[in-house]
Every structure is written in C-alpha cells, then in structure tokens.
C-alpha cells in the first residue's frame, strides 16, 4: 500500500486525476454539506447514546445498511462479522467528522484481526489522503445519502421520559416518607422530654420526703441511744462490782452482782451482752484456778461455763467463751468436746497464744499430730518466749517422725528456760536416734546437772555410751541407775549387755540372771527379759525366752500375744494363729488378743473370722478407730461392700482426717458402682489433703469419668 497516493476510487472502477484548482468550488460546497450532515448525525447519536444507553450506534449502522429500527442481524451472520460492520461504520463517521486518528485506531484494530481486510486497507489509504489534503467528495463512499431511522430515537426518548417520571414519583414518595418520619421523631422527643421532667419532679419530691424521714429517725435514735447508754452503764457497774467481790473471795456476792448484770442487759445489743457475759465467765474461770478447795473450784468453773454458754447465745463466735468451755471439757477428759470448743476459740481469735496452746494439747492427746503441730507453732509465733509451746511442739514433731525439727524446738525451749530438764532429756533422746553421740551425751549430762537422780537419763546415757562402743562408761551409768532401782529387770539386762560387749561374759550372765534369779518363778521377769530382747532387735533370742515364759505359765496371755505377733510378722501365720487363738480363748475380753487374732485371720484371707474378731475388739474399745478401719478393710476384702461402706463411714465420721479410710471408702463406693459416692470422697481428699497419694487418687477419680 502506497502512502503517497492522491487518487480516489470511482464507483465504476476507473481512476481520474483531479487537480486542486479545478475542484475548490465543489469541495467547499460538498464540505459544507457534509459538515452539516455530520453535525446532525452526531447530535442524533449523542441523544441516542445518552437516552438509550448505547442504542444509537447500532441503530445508525442498521439504517445505513437498509434495515429498519430493531431489525436483527441475519442468522447467517456471525458475531464477528457484525462487530466488523459496526467498526467500519463508526470509522466512517469519524472520517466524516474529521477525526482521522480515532478512525485510524478503529481500522488498525480490524487489521490486527485480519491483515488482508481489503476494505479496511482501502479506507486507511483514504484517511491518509484526507490527512494530506484530499476532500471527502473525492471518494465515492462518502457521497451516499445518509438516511437516519428516528423511530428508535423516539422510542428511546419516550422510554427516558417514562423512566424520569417514575424516578420523580419515587423521589416524591421518599421525601414524603422522610417528612413523616421526622415528624414522628419530633413527637417522640417531645413526649420523652415531658416524661423526663415528670420523673425529675417525682425524684425531687421523694428526696425531700426521705430527708424529712431521716431527720425524724435521727432524732428518735439520739433519744434512744441516750437511754441505751444509761442502761449499759448500769450493766458495766454491776460487772465491776462483781469482779471486785470476786477478788476478795466473796464469791456469793460476786455471783449476785453478775446475775444483776445479766438481768440488766439491754435488748438488741448482742455484742455488748456477749462481751460482758464473756468477761464474767473469764473472771470466774481465773478465780477457780486460784483456789485450792476442789469443791469450790468445781463450782466456780461450772458458773464460768454457764456464763460462757449465755455469752455464746448472743455471739456464737465469742472466743473467750469457747475457750472456757474447752477448759471445762478438758478437765472432764471430754477430749472431743474440748477439741471443738478450742477450735472455735482460735477461729474467732487467732491472736491468743493460750487458745492455740491448749488446742494443741488436746489434739496431741487425740493423736492428731499434724493439727497439734500447727497449733503449737501458732502459739509459739504469738508468744516467742513461751517455752512450753516449744517443748510441746518438739514432742509433736517427734511423734510425726520429724526428728531434726523436734530437736530444734527442744533447743528453743531450753534456750528460753535453761532449767527446763525435760527439754534436755527429749533432745538427748532424739540426738541418740540420730547417732549424734556427742550431742546426746552433752544433753543427758545437762539433765543430770539439774537432776542427778533421774533414772531415765542415767539408763539412756549409758545406752548411748554402749551404742558408741564405750562400754566402760555405759557400765558405770547403768550401775548408777541400778543403784536407784536394783530390781529393775531392764537395767540388769542392759548391764549384762555392756559387760558382754567388754568380754566379761560371766559377769554379764550374772546380771542377766539377777533379773531372773531374784524371782525365777515369776513369769513376768522372764517375760520382761524376752520383751527387751525383742525391742533390741534380737527376735531369735526373744522367741525361746517367750517360750520359757509360756512353759512357766501356758496361760500367760502377754507372752502368747507377743510371740504370736512375732510369728505373724515373720509370715508364719499358722503358728501365730495358734498362739493368738489361745490368748483370745484365755481372755475373751482382751482387746489386743482379739485385734491381733483378727489380723492373723486377715493375713490368711479368712475374712469372716477376721470380721468376727475385729468386731469383738471394737466392742472392747468402741472408740478405737484403727480397729474400726481394720474391720472395714476385712469387709471389703470379703467383698461385703455394703458393710464395708457402713463401717468406713463410721471411721471417717469419728475422724474426718483419716485419709486412708477416706481413700478406701472411695474404692468401696467404686465397687458398689456408686460413682457419685466415690467421686465425693476422692474430691474431698484432693481438697483437704492434696498431697495424699496424689497419683492414686487422681487415677481412681479419672476412672470414674
């Protein structure tokens, strides 16, 4: 394709050269006509595009192809052919408007799709010629009459008008709705404001009424308080007069004043009443401790307890009253009641060292060593210079097997009171257990400095020397002890032991025989000798001595029991059973005989017999919770879970800190398929003693899920 052509193609296919000078007039005329026509076409197209959303171009092309408005492309034409025709038509319009570059872009797009498109190539040549100065009239294709189908334009314009009308109607409706909503909102706001003002007025009136009521109540209260204060003063005066009489020994007069104070107590003043009654109880309790007459002491203590009970009726947490009731129960050896009262005292007042101290003593008596330890520690913290608290703490720690801590407590007690010989003695014993020979010797010698006739210290110091291999010193101290108690079988035996260790066999035998020779027909001496052998660990030597005791007295129940226990511990259950059966037959009411016989049956898995003898033992000592627990274990071993459950519940009721019983009870509930019951006791264990058999408790609890 040449880029310098200035020829136009005629419709008949012949080429004619046209000079610029010859065609000026015609070009001007045709150019005006074309521009006018192009302007009309462009205006129509713009209206169609704006009004009908792009319908204009399609309508214009269809009109130029001779079809009517809305005529569809023939079925034989492809979509690509239709796109090409529309592109050519649009390119021609751009050319007629003089927008040659836009026309060239459209033609280039056609040639990209088909480089051999003859018509597109020809039009490009025409555009190049036009840009070089040629006129549209030079080209036949632009001389055709343009006809425009305006039907589509009319319909598009009508559609636009209809849509505009609909939009206007919708807009009017929207404006109307918004106006109505605004009016409704203003009305709601007006009503809300009215309600707010009414509420404010009501609140103001209520505040005024409440203020008037408060002032009236304050006035009435002031008058009442004045009367109450006067009444309280009378009570306090009566209490003071009673205490004064009590201090000079006028006990009846004191009680009269105390009873007057009780009668004058104002109603509704519970704490005031409790404090005064508790103070009276404390005064009477102190007076009972200062008198020597037993009957008077008992009477005063009873009065103290009565006033304490009255105080608790007003204030159930009054600590002094609980403490006084605890002292009364301790005097009567009612340990469980004492435990309850002392516990409530420390719960109400944790600052009084005596409350903790006396609570610890009861707990120790009941063998609740862990609880006793905590109580004595609290007493010592509250009063660091109280040596008895340290001593009892040491005894409790000793019972718990906490030897080093116990030694430290005894040392503190001795440091507070250097004359505390019992603290030195207990310290020496524990140091002996630790094989601290030097420490034990020093402690025992401190005891003997304070009490040279302390037979226990003499014997035990001798034993320390013997254990250390210093048999000569041991012999000396044993003989000093023996001088205080010549007939003491244990001391004679120990003398014989240290003599034997020194190679003084004959002399050792002589002392061993002295205990026996003093009364060779006395089975108790022989039995005691056997017992010391067993205690020293010489079980083999103890057995024939026990048999000798039984030869002297086949009905010697203690020998039967102890020998039976030896065989039971060694695994010889048949021999043990025979001995223990004899003991139980001889003394059916002997607790140890029945209890150990039950243990022998339990070891042989004879659960029915074990249950029988545990029941007998329990009847003999109904408060023995250990036997009760063994009975429950026997039931459980016999798979009698119902009875096991019943007995275990009695065990934990008597001692809710018997962790083994709690755990075994949970296992019994598991065997009974009572998941809730088992879970209850396992959770109780985790809450109350989280360190107890942690893994086993957790595993059993998990198995219930």
Domains defined along the chain, listed by start: 84-132 (no CATH), 627-704 (1.25.40.10)
- 8 Å CB contact between 398 and 409: no
Cα(570)–Cα(561) distance, rounded to whole angstroms? 14
CB atoms under 10 Å from CB of 143, counted, come to 12
Per-residue confidence (pLDDT) for residue 668, from 0 to 100: 96
- 8 Å CB contact between 561 and 587: no
The alpha carbons of the chain give a radius of gyration, in whole angstroms, of 60
> Which two three-digit tokens encode residue 48?
């169609």
Cα(129)–Cα(142) distance, rounded to whole angstroms? 14
Cα(60)–Cα(524) distance, rounded to whole angstroms? 142
Cα(240)–Cα(702) distance, rounded to whole angstroms? 63
Torsion, Cα of 481, 484, 485, 489 (10° steps): 10
Cα(413)–Cα(526) distance, rounded to whole angstroms? 40
Percent share of the chain, pLDDT over 70:
83
Determine if residue 268 is left, alpha or beta; phi over 0 gives left, psi from -120 to 50 gives alpha, anything else beta: left
Per-residue confidence (pLDDT) for residue 356, from 0 to 100: 97
Of 47-61, 143-157, 328-342, 570-584, give the lowest mean pLDDT range: 47-61
pTM for this entry:
0.45
Q: What integer is the mean pLDDT of 405-421?
A: 97
Of 16-25, 648-657, 680-689, give the lowest mean pLDDT range: 16-25
Q: What integer is the mean pLDDT of 413-422?
A: 96
Of 50-54, 428-432, 474-478, 605-609, give the lowest mean pLDDT range: 50-54
> Which two three-digit tokens encode residue 185?
């909102």
Per-residue confidence (pLDDT) for residue 523, from 0 to 100: 82
Cα(514)–Cα(496) distance, rounded to whole angstroms? 10
Higher pLDDT: 512 or 564? It is 564
**Where does the pLDDT of residue 48 fall: very low under 50, low under 70, confident under 90, or very high at 90 and above?**
very low
First-last CA distance in the chain: 95
Per-residue confidence (pLDDT) for residue 522, from 0 to 100: 76
- 8 Å CB contact between 633 and 602: yes
Q: What are phi and psi of 656, to 5 degrees?
A: -75, 5
Per-residue confidence (pLDDT) for residue 165, from 0 to 100: 75
Higher pLDDT: 31 or 239? It is 239
Tens digits of per-residue pLDDT, 442-451? 999 999 999 9
> Which two three-digit tokens encode residue 347?
């719960």
Per-residue confidence (pLDDT) for residue 16, from 0 to 100: 35
Selection from 367, 357, 368 nearest residue 391 by Cα: 357
Q: Is the dihedral of CA 513, 517, 521, 523 positive or negative?
A: negative
> Which two three-digit tokens encode residue 496?
């014989």
Selection from 295, 302, 289, 299 nearest residue 328 by Cα: 302
Q: What is the DSSP string of 429-458?
A: HHHHHTT-HHHHHHHHHHHHHH-TT-HHHH
Per-residue confidence (pLDDT) for residue 487, from 0 to 100: 79
Higher pLDDT: 280 or 496? It is 280
Cα(529)–Cα(552) distance, rounded to whole angstroms? 14
Does residue 412 register a pLDDT over 90? yes
Per-residue confidence (pLDDT) for residue 652, from 0 to 100: 94
> Which two three-digit tokens encode residue 519?
């009364």
Torsion, Cα of 249, 250, 252, 256 (10° steps): -120
Does residue 13 register a pLDDT over 70? no
Count Cβ neighbours within 10 Å for each residue of 494-513 and write b for 16 or more, e otherwise. Answer: bbbbbbbbeebeebbeebbe
Tens digits of per-residue pLDDT, 278-295? 999 999 999 998 888 989
**Where does the pLDDT of residue 145 fall: very low under 50, low under 70, confident under 90, or very high at 90 and above?**
very low
CB atoms under 10 Å from CB of 54, counted, come to 9
Torsion, Cα of 664, 665, 666, 670 (10° steps): 100
Per-residue confidence (pLDDT) for residue 4, from 0 to 100: 38
Does residue 9 register a pLDDT over 60? no
Does residue 335 register a pLDDT over 70? yes
Per-residue confidence (pLDDT) for residue 46, from 0 to 100: 37
Tens digits of per-residue pLDDT, 612-631? 999 999 999 999 999 999 99
**Where does the pLDDT of residue 144 fall: very low under 50, low under 70, confident under 90, or very high at 90 and above?**
low
Does residue 57 register a pLDDT over 60? no
Is residue 93 exposed (0-12), middle (13-18) or buried (19+ Cβ within 10 Å)?
buried
Does residue 49 register a pLDDT over 80? no
Collapsed DSSP state (helix, strand, coil) of residue 76: coil
Per-residue confidence (pLDDT) for residue 601, from 0 to 100: 96
Does residue 506 register a pLDDT over 80? no
Does residue 56 register a pLDDT over 90? no
> Which two three-digit tokens encode residue 150?
């305006």
Does residue 65 register a pLDDT over 50? no
Cα(6)–Cα(572) distance, rounded to whole angstroms? 139
Higher pLDDT: 168 or 558? It is 558
Tens digits of per-residue pLDDT, 244-291? 999 898 999 999 999 999 998 998 889 999 999 999 999 999 999 888
Per-residue confidence (pLDDT) for residue 315, from 0 to 100: 93
Q: What integer is the mean pLDDT of 337-365?
A: 96
Q: What integer is the mean pLDDT of 478-502?
A: 83
- 8 Å CB contact between 60 and 147: no
Residue 476, Cα to own-chain centre: how many angstroms? 62
Per-residue confidence (pLDDT) for residue 44, from 0 to 100: 35
CB within 8 Å of 137: residues ≥ 6 apart: 23, 26, 27, 30, 31, 34, 143
> Which two three-digit tokens encode residue 24?
């000026």
Selection from 39, 35, 81 nearest residue 61 by Cα: 81
Q: What integer is the mean pLDDT of 146-157?
A: 51
CB atoms under 10 Å from CB of 361, counted, come to 22
**What mean pLDDT, rounded, does the chain reach?**
84
CA distances from 532 to 458, 537, 554, 606 (A): 18, 9, 20, 32
**Where does the pLDDT of residue 231 fall: very low under 50, low under 70, confident under 90, or very high at 90 and above?**
confident
Q: What integer is the mean pLDDT of 207-219?
A: 83
Q: What integer is the mean pLDDT of 427-440?
A: 94
């Amino acid at each position: 394709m040449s880029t310098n052509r200035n020829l136009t193609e005629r419709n008949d296919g012949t080429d004619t050269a046209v000079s610029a000078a010859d065609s000026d007039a015609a070009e001007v005329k045709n150019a005006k006509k074309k521009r006018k026509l192009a302007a009309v076409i462009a205006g129509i197209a713009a209206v169609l595009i704006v009004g009908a959303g792009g319908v204009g171009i399609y309508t214009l092309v269809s009109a130029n192809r001779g079809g009517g408005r809305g005529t569809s492309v023939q079925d034989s034409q492809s979509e690509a052919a239709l796109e090409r025709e529309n592109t050519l038509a649009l390119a021609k319009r751009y050319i007629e408007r003089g927008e040659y570059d836009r026309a060239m872009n459209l033609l280039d797009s056609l040639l990209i799709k088909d480089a051999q498109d003859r018509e597109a190539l020809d039009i490009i040549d025409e555009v190049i010629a036009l840009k070089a100065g040629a006129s549209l009239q030079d080209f036949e294709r632009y001389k055709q009459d343009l006809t425009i189908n305006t039907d589509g334009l009319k319909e598009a314009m009508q559609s636009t008008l209809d849509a505009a009308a609909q939009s206007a109607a919708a807009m009017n409706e929207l404006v109307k709705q918004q106006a109505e909503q605004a009016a409704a909102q203003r009305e709601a706001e007006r009503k809300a404001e009215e309600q707010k003002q009414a509420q404010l007025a009501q609140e103001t009136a209520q505040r005024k009424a409440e203020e008037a009521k408060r002032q009236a109540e304050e006035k009435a209260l002031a008058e009442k308080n004045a009367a109450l204060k006067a009444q309280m003063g009378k009570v306090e005066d009566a209490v003071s007069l009673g205490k004064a009489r009590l201090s000079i020994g006028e006990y009846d007069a004191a009680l009269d004043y105390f009873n007057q104070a009780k009668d004058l107590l104002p109603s509704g003043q519970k704490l005031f009443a409790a404090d005064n009654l508790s103070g009276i109880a404390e005064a009477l309790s102190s007076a009972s401790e200062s008198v020597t007459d037993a009957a008077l002491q008992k009477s005063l203590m009873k009065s103290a307890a009565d006033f304490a009970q009255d105080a608790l009726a007003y204030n159930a947490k009054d600590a002094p009253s609980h403490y006084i009731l605890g002292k009364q129960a301790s005097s009567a050896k009612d340990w469980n009641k004492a435990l309850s009262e002392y516990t409530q005292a420390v719960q109400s007042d944790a600052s009084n060292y005596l409350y903790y101290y006396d609570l610890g003593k009861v707990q120790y008596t009941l063998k609740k060593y862990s609880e006793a330890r905590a109580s004595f520690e609290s007493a010592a913290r509250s009063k660091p210079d109280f040596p008895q608290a340290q001593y009892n703490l040491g005894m409790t720690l000793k019972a718990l097997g906490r030897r080093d801590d116990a030694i430290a407590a005894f040392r503190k007690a001795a440091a507070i009171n250097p004359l505390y010989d019992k603290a030195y003695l207990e310290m020496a014993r524990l140091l002996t257990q630790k094989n601290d020979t030097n420490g034990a010797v020093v402690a025992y010698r401190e005891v003997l400095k304070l009490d040279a006739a302390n037979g226990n210290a003499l014997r035990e110091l001798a034993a320390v020397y013997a254990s250390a291999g210093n048999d000569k010193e041991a012999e000396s101290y044993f003989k000093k002890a023996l001088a205080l108690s010549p007939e003491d079988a244990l001391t004679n035996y120990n003398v014989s032991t240290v003599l034997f260790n020194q190679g003084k066999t004959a002399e050792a035998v002589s002392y061993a025989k002295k205990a026996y020779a003093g009364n060779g027909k006395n089975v108790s001496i022989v039995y005691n000798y056997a017992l010391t052998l067993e205690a020293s660990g010489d079980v083999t030597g103890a057995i024939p001595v026990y048999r000798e005791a039984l030869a002297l007295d086949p009905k010697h129940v203690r020998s039967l029991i102890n020998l039976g226990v030896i065989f039971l511990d060694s695994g010889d259950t048949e021999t043990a059973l025979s001995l223990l059966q004899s003991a139980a037959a001889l003394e059916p009411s002997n607790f140890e005989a029945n209890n150990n016989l039950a243990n022998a049956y339990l070891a042989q898995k004879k659960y029915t017999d074990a249950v029988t003898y545990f029941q007998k033992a329990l009847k003999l000592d109904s408060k023995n919770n250990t036997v009760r627990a063994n009975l429950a274990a026997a039931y459980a071993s016999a798979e009698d879970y119902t009875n096991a459950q019943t007995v275990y519940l009695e065990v934990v009721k008597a001692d809710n800190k018997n962790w083994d019983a709690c755990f075994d009870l949970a296992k019994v509930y598991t065997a009974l398929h009572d998941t809730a019951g088992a879970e209850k006791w396992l959770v109780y264990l985790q809450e109350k003693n989280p360190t107890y058999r942690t893994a086993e408790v957790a595993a059993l609890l998990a198995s219930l899920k």
